[in-house]
């Protein structure tokens, strides 16, 4: 018996880890390649306000970037599933770099505001979906090259890392924009984002893993699943839930900025928001170590419930200190909720369509964020901060309600669902 168990443990030691299969350079390249996307929305806002002197146009332009991503993101994911990631990403890296430079020229030129908005949509439409495509790439590798007994836990750990990487980048991206805009000029963040896009998205596209196409696809690139499989209630409820999380991000940052502006310290909103971001990223990583008995559908309910409880405290905050407490509680809920939703997306992807599903989820976050920020900004300005602070509660309630619906839609145990490429 001892000999058998020793032999089994030795086999486990020799089983390749995802880090070894993909390689450390992959994770470094994929991390840096996300930065331009995190810089775009804030960079666009910064340069429009500086060049055109209009905060209103700046907000509309940021929303236009989100609109472009929302409309074209899932289509780009479908193209990556159909033709492979490498070809699609190489084209996008060059196109997006060019659009960022073109946008900068249009903003500083004499073109009407309508052209500025059109160029912003172009930035969003060509935005390389590095984060969703990285998730899809890794999930496909896990499904095809790792033992079945380790897939569910490895997918959970991978989604935890990817979500933590996203959160880190979305905190660091705006910070980098601020440094470049202050040290050089308002146009510098967009030129920097263009350079990073061509170099690092290009490197992400050309990485050996980019050649990897799901074995579920035939020689002509066709998937065995129908497009209609993307519209099953079990998958759409995940999209709705992640939309709620996106709306939360947009409404929370905007209403927090209004809250701090009322106290004459609008520039400190980012620091307070970082309290939630750091906690969220740390807890997101911790999801990988949760016991298997704590099922995915239960995690969604528990952590979105914590998020909802944290937002309800916004009705009572009266100082930056009490706001920090509320944000700390929200941070405990938001990261693990996002990880769980992406894990459901991976488990429920129709065969051969994981890139499409991951870009649907990624676009859900972007759409929610853009929509939430626009609505919260308008309400904060016309009605007041207290009214704007109700919006994160509504967003958290959407995420929680989707979790309740998901509980009843989860017929099989999600942990035991096969990982699909």
Answer yes or no: is pLDDT of 154 > 80. yes
pLDDT, tens digit (0-9, with 9 covering 90-100), for 250-303: 888 888 888 888 888 776 777 787 778 777 878 877 877 888 788 889 999 999
Are 369 and 245 in contact, with CB atoms under 8 Å apart? no
In whole angstroms, give the CA distance from residue 11 to residue 294: 27
Answer yes or no: is pLDDT of 370 > 90. no
In whole angstroms, give the CA distance from residue 292 to residue 225: 29
Q: Please spell the DSSP secondary structure of 350-371, one letter per residue.
A: PTT-HHHHHHHHHHHHHHHHHH
What confidence tier does 8 reach under pLDDT thresholds 50, 70, 90? Answer: very low
Q: Is the pTM of this model over 0.85?
A: no
In whole angstroms, give the CA distance from residue 112 to residue 171: 32
In whole angstroms, give the CA distance from residue 162 to residue 155: 10
Indicate the range of 53-67, 220-234, 256-270, 305-319 predicted with least confidence: 220-234
Q: Which among 287, 6, 309 is positioned nearest to 159, based on CA atoms?
A: 287
Q: Please spell the DSSP secondary structure of 222-283, one letter per residue.
A: --SS-GGGGG-HHHHHHHHHHHHHHHHHHHHHHHHHHHHHTTT-GGGHHHHHHHHHHHHHHH
In whole angstroms, give the CA distance from residue 376 to residue 381: 8
- Domains in the chain, start-ordered, CATH in brackets? 24-222 (1.20.1250.20), 223-416 (1.20.1250.20)
Question: Mean pLDDT, the chain, as a whole number?
Answer: 82
Indicate the range of 71-75, 140-144, 212-216, 263-267 predicted with least confidence: 212-216
pLDDT, tens digit (0-9, with 9 covering 90-100), for 320-335: 999 999 999 999 998 8
In whole angstroms, give the CA distance from residue 358 to residue 202: 20
In whole angstroms, give the CA distance from residue 278 to residue 72: 30
pLDDT, tens digit (0-9, with 9 covering 90-100), for 15-53: 677 777 777 888 999 999 998 887 887 788 778 878 887
């Amino acid at each position: 018996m001892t000999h058998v168990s020793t032999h089994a443990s030795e086999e486990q030691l020799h089983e390749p880890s995802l880090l070894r299969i993909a390689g450390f350079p992959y994770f470094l390249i994929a991390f840096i390649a996300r930065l331009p996307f995190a810089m775009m929305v804030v960079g666009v806002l910064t340069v429009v306000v500086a060049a055109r002197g209009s905060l209103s146009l700046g907000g509309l332009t940021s929303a236009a970037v989100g609109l472009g991503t929302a409309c074209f993101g899932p289509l780009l994911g479908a193209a990556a599933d159909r033709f492979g990631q490498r070809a699609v990403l190489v084209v996008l890296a060059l196109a997006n770099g060019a659009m960022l430079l073109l946008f900068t020229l249009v903003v500083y030129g004499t073109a009407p505001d309508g052209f500025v908005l059109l160029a912003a949509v172009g930035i969003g439409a060509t935005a390389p979906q590095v984060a969703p495509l990285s998730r899809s790439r890794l999930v496909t590798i896990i499904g095809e090259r790792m033992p079945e007994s380790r897939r569910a836990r490895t997918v959970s750990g991978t989604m935890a890392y990817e979500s933590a990487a996203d959160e880190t980048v979305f905190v660091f991206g705006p910070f980098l924009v601020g440094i470049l805009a202050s040290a050089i000029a308002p146009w510098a963040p967009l030129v920097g984002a263009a350079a990073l896009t061509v170099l690092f998205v290009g490197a992400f596209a050309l990485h050996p893993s980019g050649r990897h196409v799901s074995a579920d696809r035939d020689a002509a690139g066709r998937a065995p699943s129908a497009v209609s499989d993307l519209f099953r209630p079990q998958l759409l409820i995940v999209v709705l839930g992640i939309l709620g999380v996106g709306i939360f991000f947009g409404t929370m940052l905007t209403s927090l900025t209004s809250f701090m502006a009322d106290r004459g310290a609008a520039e400190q909103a980012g620091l307070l928001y970082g309290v939630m971001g750091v906690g969220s990223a740390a807890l997101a990583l911790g999801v990988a170590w949760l016991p298997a008995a704590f099922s995915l559908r239960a995690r969604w309910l528990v952590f979105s419930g914590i998020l909802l409880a944290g937002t309800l405290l916004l009705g009572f905050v009266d100082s930056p200190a009490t706001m920090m407490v509320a944000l700390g509680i929200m941070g405990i809920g938001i990261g693990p909720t996002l990880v769980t939703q992406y894990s459901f997306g991976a488990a429920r992807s129709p065969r051969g369509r994981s890139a499409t599903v991951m870009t649907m989820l990624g676009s859900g976050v972007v759409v929610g964020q853009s929509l939430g920020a626009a609505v919260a900004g308008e309400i904060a300005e016309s009605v007041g901060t207290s009214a704007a602070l109700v919006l994160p509660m509504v967003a958290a309630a959407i995420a929680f309600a989707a979790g309740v619906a998901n509980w009843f839609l989860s017929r099989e145990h999600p942990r035991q669902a096969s990982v699909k490429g």
